[in-house]
Amino acid sequence: MRYKSSRLILAASVLVALPAMANIFQDELDQVDYALKNNPTHALQQSLESCLRQRNAAVKLNKMGDEVRARRALQYCFDSLNLSKKYVVRVAAPTEEELLARAKKEFDKALSLTPDVANGLAIYRECAACHEPEGWGRTTGSVPQIAGQHRKVIIKQLADFRAGNRDSVLMVPYATVESIGGAQAVADVAEYISTLEISVDNGLGPGDNLALGEELYRQHCLDCHGANGEGSNDELAPRIQAQHYKYMVRQFKWLREGARRNASEEMTSLSMSLDENEMEAVLDYASRLQPAEEYRAPPDWKNPDFEH
C-alpha cells in the first residue's frame, strides 16, 4: 500500500506541476515578444532577428511537449537581448510624434551651439572606420559619401538616428550619446564633415537611360535638390551630387518599404510613383551630377587630418 500511495502522490505532483511549467513558459514568451516589439534594451537588429528565430523554434518545441528545450531556446533571447527574467520594463514603444519631437529637440539644440571643429575631427576618427577618412563612403552603396554634405542635413540625420526616428544597424551604435556625446558632439562632427572635399569618382549607374533620368529629375527632383543636385542647407535638402548610385537605389527601396521613417512625404510618394526602370534612370542621372569646382577634392587627395 505504501508503494501504491507513493505512486499516487508522485502522479499528483506531476499533474500539478504541468500547468505551472506552462505558465512559466508563457510568461517568458510574453517577455520575449514584448522585447521583440519594443526593444527596451536597444539591442542591435541582428540580435533581434536571431532572437525571433529562436522564439519561433521555442513555440514549436513547446507545442511538441518539450518544455525544457523550449525554455532553453527562449534563454537565447534573454541572453542576446540582455533581458531579465525577474523584470522587463513595461512601457509602450514611443509614437511617431514622440520620435519626431525627440529628434527635433536635439536638432534645435545642436543648431544653437557653436561648433568645435577640433572636437568634430576627434569624433569623426571613429566614423572614418566606415565612411573613410575622406568621407567618401563606398561605391558598393553600403556607405554613402558624406563629404561636403550640408551641416544642417547632417545634424538632422544624426538627431533622427539618435531619437530612433531612423534605423541603421551599422550607424546607430556609433551615433548614440554614450558613443559620441550630447548635442554639442552632433554640432561638432557635423561641422567637420561639411568641410571635407567631395570625391567625384563615385559609383555610377549603367548609363543606358540618362535622357529619361534627366527628364524625371527635372520633373520631380529639381525643386528640392536643385538643378545640379546641390541641395539646400536651410531647406534640409541633402546634397546628392556625386552620391553613390547603389546607395541611392537602396534608400529608394527602403522608402518604398517604409523603412525610412524620417523621409519627407514628397520623397516617399515619389518612390512609390516610379517604376523600377524610372527609379534606376533618375538615380543614375543624379549620381552623375557634380559639385562646383571649389567643393571637389583634387585628384589623389587624402585627408591630411589622418596623416601621421
In a domain, 259, yes or no: yes
**Total number of domains constituting the chain:** 3
Q: Per-residue pLDDT tens for 158-186?
A: 999 999 999 887 888 889 888 899 999 99
Report the SS3 class of residue 178.
helix
Q: Is the pLDDT of residue 21 over 80?
A: no
Residue span of the structural domain in which 160 resides = 98-195
Q: Is the pLDDT of residue 291 over 80?
A: yes
Specify the pLDDT at position 6: 36
Do 162 and 91 meet the contact criterion of CB atoms below 8 Å apart?
Answer: no
In a domain, 301, yes or no: no
**Segment 202-206 mean pLDDT:** 98
Question: Could you say which of 195, 227, 245 is where a domain stops?
Answer: 195
Specify the pLDDT at position 86: 67
Tally the C-alpha atoms within 13 A of residue 258's C-alpha that lie toward its C-beta.
1
Q: Is the pLDDT of residue 118 over 80?
A: yes
154: left (phi over 0), alpha (psi -120 to 50) or beta: alpha
Longest dimension (CA), the chain: 100
What are the cell numbers at 196? 571635407
Q: Per-residue pLDDT tens for 36-58?
A: 988 888 888 888 999 999 999 99
User: Do 289 and 238 fall within a single domain?
Assistant: yes
User: Do 186 and 118 fall within a single domain?
Assistant: yes
**Segment 277-294 mean pLDDT:** 97
**Segment 189-218 mean pLDDT:** 98
Specify the pLDDT at position 19: 43
Between CA 162 and CA 181 the distance in angstroms is 11
Specify the pLDDT at position 283: 98
At residue 90 the predicted structure's pLDDT band, cuts being 50, 70 and 90, is: low
Q: How far is CA 116 from CA 41, 71, 122, in A?
A: 32, 51, 10
In a domain, 17, yes or no: no
Specify the range with the lowest mean pLDDT, choosing from 1-5, 81-85, 193-197.
1-5
Q: How far is CA 259 from the centre of its chain?
A: 9
Between CA 168 and CA 246 the distance in angstroms is 16
Specify the pLDDT at position 5: 37
- Of 243, 72, 233, residue with least CA distance to 143: 243
Between CA 146 and CA 80 the distance in angstroms is 32
- Of 247, 239, 240, residue with least CA distance to 142: 247
